[in-house]
Structures are given as structure tokens and as C-alpha cells.
Structure 1
Amino acid sequence: MRLAPILLSLATVSLAAPANYFDDAYDFSDELSDFYAKVSQYISRVRKDTTPSATCDTSKIKLPSFALGLPAPNQTVPMYVALGRGTQNYTCADSTSASTPTAIGAVANLYNATCLAANYPDILESLPNIALKISLPTNEYATLPPANLDLMGHHFFTGATPEFNLDLTATQQFGIAMTKKGGQINAPDTAVQGKYGAVPWLYLSTIDGTVGKYKGVYRVDTASGSPPDDCTDMPSSFEIEYSANYYFFGS
């Protein structure tokens, strides 16, 4: 994919969508204003560039520097990057301060952000903060604004196992990563906290049942998703919305 079309799709998507599609996100928060400012800068740069247009070269994909606190992707190469938008799910034994929330998994749509990761990592890093403010499209297969990203797959738990199913349709087969937690660090202070805090950054190693060459998955750039410190006045089960970027590495 050429870079200019990527940028033009980013710049025009808000004009093509109905006004109520973006709900309250498009009051042009600081994050969104910064996002479109960067898009404009890149469009100007591409127009002046006389060299051949670059492609989505995954060898250029790098994890955010803060992720150096997680285990390194040993002898693996970047394959895909996806923006995740969904919920972290919890239960409470009772609705008192004597109980603490128990994590029971997550459910999220995964949107293909590989080209952004390869060519515009600063734009990619800002997307979870913006996506958190945008309701998921009622049409599951619609693209996700403001970056107009295509649905790539789904993240959920099979029992206690985090699964990333990227076999979206009969013709779109990216494989399946079955994982276990291999490392964790707290989200940086700059992360969007939401009501109770941003969920940690994770390294997930793959296990039996994985389909494809996946070796590890990183959850980074997290926004919101953490539960309250205790279960005071909380229901027996509840969801906290979150967003994050997922980096898929393989052999």
C-alpha cells in the first residue's frame, strides 16, 4: 500500500461519516487535534517527496521505547500490529470494600494498524487514547475512525487463555495466537487513565493451539481498562472499556 492513500484516508474519513457516528469524540479534544496536525504534516511531506512511495515494510516496526521493560522479542520479527478496542471484564464476590475485583478476561475488536506502525508510529501511539472515546461501530465490519482501520480479528479468552483470532473470514486468514502472560509492567504515567487507571503493558508468549508463525504478542499504549481498588457498590460482574495497541511477532 502506498503512503499517500493511507494519509488521505486518515484526513478524509471524518468528512465522509455521518455526524452522529463519532458521538462525543469529535469535539476535537487535544489528542484528536494533535492527531490531525500530524496527518497534515505527513501529507505535506509526502507531496514534496520525489522518491518512490514506501510500502508497509514490517521490518521497520518497532515497539515503543517504554516496552523495553518487557521481555524482548527473542529471534522473532514483527508481523502485524492491531488497535484493540473493547472491554476488560471483572467479577466481585460481593459489593463491599472487603472484596476486590477479579479479572476474568477481555473482549475486543482488533483493527489492522500494521501500515501505521511501519510508517507513522507517532500517529499509532495516539490512537488508543482517541479510540477509547469512540463507540464501536454498530456494523462490526465497519472501519474504525479516525484512522479508518479495517477489522482484522477478535481478542477474547478461551477459558483462562488469551486468544487472538485473526481468521476473520474464509478469505481473510491471518492465523490464531493462543497465549500466556510472560511479562508485565505498569502503564506509564502519561497513559489515559479512564476512571480507575490504565491496564498494564504485557508480553504474551504463544502456546499450543497457535495457528501460524506467532511467537509473542505485546499489549502496549493502553488506555483505561483497570477496575476500582475494591468492590464497593459494584455489581457481581462488570466491564471497563479500554483500548490498546497489540504487536504480533513471529518467526
Structure 2
Amino acid sequence: MRLAPILLSLATVSLAAPANFFDNAYDFSDELSDFYSKVSQYISRVRKSSTPSATCDISKIKLPAFASGLPAPNETVPIYVALGRGTQNYTCADSTSASTPKAIGAVANLYNATCLAANYPDLLELLPNIALSISLPTNEYATFPPANLGLMGHHFFTGTIPEFNLDLTATKQFGIAMTKKGGQINAPTTAVKGEYGAVPWLYLSTIDGTVGKYKGVYRVDTASGSPPDTCEKMPSSFQIQYSANYYFFGN
């Protein structure tokens, strides 16, 4: 019986890797152990099923329950989901406790997690915590472990505007979402905080300049990214590593 492609890929990484693979690639954390435990359970379930699903039905994609504190995606449907891995960027007027860090945007690679969101949402929710301890591949177009997700675009700021550019190559044109903040809630207490805390969950509505049918973007399942409370002993500009899942909705 064939395994779903996502599970087959995950099984290949977890079972065929050399003994020291995880030591060299990233720390084998409790989150990663939980991730592969769930993969194993899914593989067992698929093998026992007479009708294993290998489809990617995006209509099944739903935001995490905690996102109910954000504006609802009314009259829109999910289009894509991406794992974001990069940095939140800040500046300080001086290095004293009298100043507070100012956010100046973010830079992140976006990896296509759409089918993972449709078929295995509990695995997807674990990924940002794991991704935080994994460095970005030196080859930008390499897949991102542990789920071997392919690059689908980049997140950055154009001036003060959060942009999600999914027009990756001439043959991979997924559109561009230009956005503004439309809602915010603090990350749950269970979020991986990093050194200073997890950045908030966001709802971003699209604005002029958007290419495609995008209407809104949700940043959820955040891990790390927040700055210290003050600029004491901090440089004039600095970056904080972060990861998050991004849900793209449209019509």
C-alpha cells in the first residue's frame, strides 16, 4: 500500500538518516521527538486504512483554534499555507534602559506547507518550534527540514509595508500579497519564547499592489522573535531569529 507522499518523505528522513544526522543538522529537541512520534502514528494509521488519502484538499485547512481572537476570514477561503523562517529586525536610538527597541520589519523564507496544513495540521503546528533551531539552507532553493518543504517565496518589508512575494521563479508564480496589520493577539503562553518571547499572532489585510486573489494573511504558531524590553547594552540595529506559520486567504 502506498503511503501519502508527505508521510513517505518524512519517513525517509527519519528512518534512513545516518545516526549522527540529527546532531549535525539540528538539536534533537522534545518538539522534534514529538513530531516524528506523530509521523510514526500516521504511517501506522495509513498502512491499516483501506483508503489512504494522498490528496491535498485545501478546503480542509483551518486556522488554529487560538486564532479565534483575530478577525475571522469571512467570505474567503484558504489558498496557501507557508512555514516562515527568518528574523525580526529592530533598531535602538541608544544602548541605555531609557530607550526601547523599534521594529523595522522582518525577513523570512517561506516554505510551502499547504498540503501539510490540509492533511496533518497537528504536525504543522509543531514545525515553527522545530524550525527555530534549524539554520536556513545555504542553497536558498533547498528543501527545509524536517518536513522537506520546498521554497515558495519570501517575506520582507517594502518601506513600512509587509510584503509576501510568492513569485519565486518564471515558472512558479503564486502572486504577491501587500498587507497592513488588521488585528493582533499575544502568542499563547505555550509558545516557544526564545530569549525574549514569541512575537504576537497577526491578521494582515491586503492592500493595493497585491497580485492575485489574496485578501488576508494570518501569522500564527509563532516562535521567538520578540526584542528585549529595553535597549540596554544592545547595538543600534539587531535581529532576532523567529519562525511562524502563515495562512493565505482569498477568493
Partner of 2:249: 249
In the alignment, the residues of structure 2 paired with residue 134 and residue 169 of structure 1 have an alpha-carbon distance, to the nearest angstrom, of 25
Partner of 1:96: 96
Q: How does 1:109-128 map to 2 (within 5 A)?
A: 109-128=109-128
Which is further off, 16-25 or 235-244? 16-25
> What per-residue deviation string (whole Å, max 9, x for no partner) do you get for residues 154-186 of structure 1?
000000000000000000000000000000000
Partner of 1:213: 213
Q: Which amino acid aligns with 2:42?
A: Y
- Please state how far the C-alpha of 1:53 moved relative to its aligned partner: 2.5
> What per-residue deviation string (whole Å, max 9, x for no partner) do you get for residues 185-218 of structure 1?
0000000000000000000000000000000000
Tell me, what secondary structure is at the counterpart of 2:4? helix
Tell me, what secondary structure is at the counterpart of 1:68? helix
Shift of the 94–18 alpha-carbon distance from structure 1 to 2, 3 Å rule, reads farther
- Please state how far the C-alpha of 1:93 moved relative to its aligned partner: 0.2
- Please state how far the C-alpha of 1:96 moved relative to its aligned partner: 0.2
Percent of residue pairs identical:
85
Unaligned runs of 5+ residues in structure 1 are none
Matched, 1:25 2:26: yes
With normalisation by structure 1, the TM-score equals 0.95
In the alignment, the residues of structure 2 paired with residue 207 and residue 19 of structure 1 have an alpha-carbon distance, to the nearest angstrom, of 47
Check the 8 A contact 2:4/2:52 in 1, yes or no.
Answer: no
Shift of the 70–41 alpha-carbon distance from structure 1 to 2, 3 Å rule, reads same
In the alignment, the residues of structure 2 paired with residue 74 and residue 41 of structure 1 have an alpha-carbon distance, to the nearest angstrom, of 34
Q: Which amino acid aligns with 2:26?
A: A
Q: How does 1:129-208 map to 2 (within 5 A)?
A: 129-208=129-208
Partner of 2:13: 13
Structure 1 runs of 4+ with >3 Å offset: 14-24
Instruction: Tell me the C-alpha RMSD between the 2 structures.
Output: 1.6
> What per-residue deviation string (whole Å, max 9, x for no partner) do you get for residues 92-117 of structure 1?
00000010000000000000000010
In the alignment, the residues of structure 2 paired with residue 164 and residue 19 of structure 1 have an alpha-carbon distance, to the nearest angstrom, of 36
Check the 8 A contact 1:23/1:135 in 2, yes or no.
Answer: no
Tell me, what secondary structure is at the counterpart of 2:169? coil
With normalisation by structure 2, the TM-score equals 0.95
| Alignment length (residue pairs) | 249
In the alignment, the residues of structure 1 paired with residue 248 and residue 116 of structure 2 have an alpha-carbon distance, to the nearest angstrom, of 14
- Please state how far the C-alpha of 1:246 moved relative to its aligned partner: 0.1
Matched, 1:83 2:83: yes
Shift of the 105–21 alpha-carbon distance from structure 1 to 2, 3 Å rule, reads farther
In the alignment, the residues of structure 1 paired with residue 4 and residue 164 of structure 2 have an alpha-carbon distance, to the nearest angstrom, of 30
Tell me, what secondary structure is at the counterpart of 1:162? strand
Check the 8 A contact 2:132/2:223 in 1, yes or no.
Answer: yes
Q: Which amino acid aligns with 1:90?
A: Y
Q: Which amino acid aligns with 2:79?
A: M
